[in-house]
Amino acid sequence: MTWETVIGIETHVQLSTKTKLFSRASTEFGKSPNTNVNLIDCGLPGVLPSVNKEAFYKAIRFGLAVGAQINQTSIFDRKNYFYADLPKGYQITQMDVPIVIGGTIDIETDEGIKTVNITRAHLEEDAGKSIHDQFDGYSAIDLNRAGTPLLEIVSEPEISNAKEAVAYMKAMHQLVTYLDVSDGNMSQGSLRCDANVSVRKIGDSELGTRTEIKNINSFRFVEKAINFEVKRQIKQLENGKKVTQETRLYDSVKDETRPMRSKEFANDYRYFPEPDLLPVVISDQEMQEIKDNFPELAKEKEERYAIEFELSEYDAKILASSKPMADFFEQASRETKNYSLLSNWLIGEISAFLNKDIIEINQSKLTPINVAMLINRIDDQTISGKIGKSIFEEMYIHGSSPDEIIESQGLQQISDDSEIEGIINSVLEKNPDQVAAYLSGKDKLFGFFVGQVMKLTEGKANPQTVNTILKEKLKE
């Protein structure tokens, strides 16, 4: 029997505002527990929310980018439930009137571009964090995250498999980072999703019963969690059992999904309009300002790079695919003229290091100026490409500047003809047997001589100069 999968995704995007959605406390990640917390965030008696418009601007920017309808009047609702890291006992969210309605996102699938429809996106505040394993017999609460603005983006159930779900998340990630709506840092929870998964027999018009996998925070886990869940559901149905509508958690260690305890989701949230907030109105003028300051998106950058920097379409696309990489490239391109060498390094050597550590370039110790300087030193032949690689490793590990490394380690390339000639002479003198063998037709020994020269110069001799002089010498 053949089955098809239907997936809808709710993406929770932490908006990269300086302060929280309803308070002036900082949203900075990684601060000591309960330091980014003010009276409002800890829900003290008598406090009231005040609005951070920056979050609205970011949400609207997202809406405009996906071609959605924008509700310029935002109305908030309370979602009531008790949890220790939810200070007020309710979350301020948008139920009936989301700020963003509709829109589409294009994703890349094996069959080409697929357009996924967005149902809605609404603003809400994040909860704090409960820490259960650090204090014996107690749970601890960290409210630093409480009140951080979230945009919850709900897709239509139009995603057909785990791979597409990953493509959707990647497209979403690229979009929100490009829009500067979010830093997109998945390991810090800036982008996470819930996947609604169901299966049905091909040809059925009715959707199957769905389960919701909560809080997935990496591309890899999206794929694994959905694949597991699809297999599990098909097995249930093929064994004549039913799929229970429920909320499940993905356990990445065991690579399985399992139901959350019923207590954790069996809630009547008692939504009602938030009486502490008047409707927030975004004026036509503010809308215009958002439109006027719209950032350049990936596709536009890609096209511009190919023309402005004369890069191949392929290279331009790779550089533009990640916002941090594109930003880095653009900044470095102001300090060097050799764009193709810069692009080669970014796509090749540098990406290899970043991928190994699974980080984005802006999370590394590299700076655009340093990388551009490295490119310039290779370009002006101060160093060879090979030395460049060892210098790069130093830069990557310590964040040092290439000139400093070249200076302190004396790595300047030797391009001086007479100096190289002297070294070649001494190599040839020391190896008369090899010279004789070469002259008698063993061409391969040429490499041996080059190697000897490089050894003596610790790799600093300009290889082209060495080649030229050595060839002449061996003719004599």
Interface positions with other proteins (CB under 8 A): 39, 42-51, 78, 80, 82-84, 87-90, 139, 141, 263, 268, 270-272, 275-278
Nearer to other proteins (CB atom), residue 143 or residue 406: 143
At which residue do the structure tokens 């005040």 appear? 50
CB of 140 to other proteins, least distance (A): 11
Long-range contacts of residues 443-449, Cβ cutoff 8 Å, at least 24 apart: 446/470, 446/471, 446/474, 449/424, 449/474
Containing 162, the helix (H) or strand (E) segment is helix 162-178
CA atoms of 235 and 233, how far apart (whole Å) = 5
Nearer to other proteins (CB atom), residue 51 or residue 101: 51
Phi, psi for residue 151 in degrees, rounded to 5? -110, 115
CA atoms of 333 and 198, how far apart (whole Å) = 48
Pairing relationship of beta strands 100-101 and 69-70 according to DSSP bridges: antiparallel
Nearer to other proteins (CB atom), residue 145 or residue 224: 145
3-state secondary structure string, 375-388? HHHHHCCCCCHHHH
CB of 286 to other proteins, least distance (A): 17
CA 261 to chain CA centroid, Å, is 32
CA dihedral 296, 301, 303, 304 (to 10 degrees): 90
Q: What is the largest CA-CA distance in the chain?
A: 97
CB of 278 to other proteins, least distance (A): 5
Containing 178, the helix (H) or strand (E) segment is helix 162-178
Nearer to other proteins (CB atom), residue 280 or residue 435: 280
Q: What angle do CA 19, 25, 26 make, to 5 degrees?
A: 55
CB of 272 to other proteins, least distance (A): 5
Contacts of 314 (CB under 8 A, 6+ apart): none
Nearer to other proteins (CB atom), residue 38 or residue 160: 38
CB of 227 to other proteins, least distance (A): 34
Nearer to other proteins (CB atom), residue 145 or residue 173: 145
CB of 131 to other proteins, least distance (A): 13
CB of 189 to other proteins, least distance (A): 22
Nearer to other proteins (CB atom), residue 252 or residue 267: 267
Nearer to other proteins (CB atom), residue 147 or residue 157: 147
Nearer to other proteins (CB atom), residue 48 or residue 207: 48
Between the CA of residue 454 and those of 290, 413, 414, what are the distances in Å?
A: 58, 11, 10
CB of 117 to other proteins, least distance (A): 28
CA atoms of 71 and 103, how far apart (whole Å) = 13
Contacts of 278 (CB under 8 A, 6+ apart): none
CB of 95 to other proteins, least distance (A): 11
CB of 26 to other proteins, least distance (A): 18
CA atoms of 182 and 383, how far apart (whole Å) = 40
CA dihedral 398, 402, 408, 409 (to 10 degrees): 90
Nearer to other proteins (CB atom), residue 73 or residue 139: 139
